[in-house]
Amino acid sequence: MTDTYDARLSLQGPGDEAVVLVPGMDGTGQLFYRQVPSLAGAYRVATYALRDDARTLDQLVADLAGIVDAAAPATGRAIVIGESFGGALAMSFALAHPEKVQALVVLNSFPYFAPQARLHLAAWGLGVLPWGAMTLIRRLTAFRMHSRHTHRDEVQQFLALTARASRDGYVGRLKLLMRYDVRERLQDLVPPTLFLAADQDHLVSSVAQARFMAARTPGAVMRVLEGHGHICLIAPDVDLRQILNEWQPSSHPARAPLATGGSGTATTA
């Protein structure tokens, strides 16, 4: 990490094991707010903000390496959990630094974003759109983005937190995805890996993408979060600590079976 990068790193919890939560497209790191209190009861939990001026994914990978070191100074290893864009970053990090990843959890993400035309259109649109209109757009599209049973107060909190995200950050991350493709490298993912997919995700074909990735990642486990949309970590019945407890990843590439219940169904690849 460079001296000019403000990661807004937050560390919570006294646990010996570290969990690093990698933010999605908003980049703020604040949308994990419902998950941190539960996780911090068992882990040392790190949340952080992505830099807005990254020109390559390698820069974000290097930043994440520094976050893991800060969260786990004794071991330099953490459970890395990435959501959407953060899932793409987390997989890139695990490929570059497998020794730093105790286990990998990828939520509503993809090894390659298609169709690419959507990325180009989104980047162009965000470049010309009055940035203040983004809150209205998020409000109008909430019914397609959030889980059906997410409380309206949580949606309001989501709108308030994402309003702090920058145009440069969004556009920059869209451009990074135009050059992102790990489809042929999934077989090289070494850490125990869990793919989580919301079955009501209207932004990403999460279930299909998770099946694709799990089938190509040695020993990976896939879990479907039933009744949930793309933005599901603020829903009342998704608990990452519970999911981790039920998964119980081993340190061996052959993954432990995932118990069903609570937050969705489970399959093994």
Six-digit token string for 7: 């990661």
- Write out pLDDT tens, residues 88-136: 999 999 999 999 999 999 999 999 999 999 989 989 988 888 877 777 7
Q: Give the model's confidence band at 217: pLDDT under 50 very low, under 70 low, under 90 confident, else very high.
A: very high
Closest among 210, 174, 233 to 22, alpha carbons compared? 233
SS3 207: helix
Six-digit token string for 79: 């459970």
Dihedral of alpha carbons 114, 119, 121, 126, sign? positive
The CATH number assigned to the domain with range 10-268 reads: 3.40.50.1820
Six-digit token string for 239: 């608990």
Stated pTM of the model: 0.89
Confirm if 188 and 219 have CB atoms less than 8 A apart.
no
Query: Which H or E run includes 221?
Result: strand 221-225
Distance CA 118, CA 126 (A): 12
Confidence (pLDDT) at 262: 40
For the chain, the straight-line distance linking the first and the last C-alpha, in angstroms and rounded, comes to: 36
Domain ranges of the chain: 10-268
Distance CA 68, CA 237 (A): 28
Of the two residues 244 and 248, the one the predictor is more confident about is: 244
Closest among 145, 141, 147 to 202, alpha carbons compared? 145
Mean pLDDT of all residues in 185-190: 98
The three state secondary structure string of 142-160 is HHHHECCCCCHHHHHHHHH
Of the two residues 141 and 197, the one the predictor is more confident about is: 197
Six-digit token string for 34: 């419902």
Confirm if 78 and 102 have CB atoms less than 8 A apart.
yes
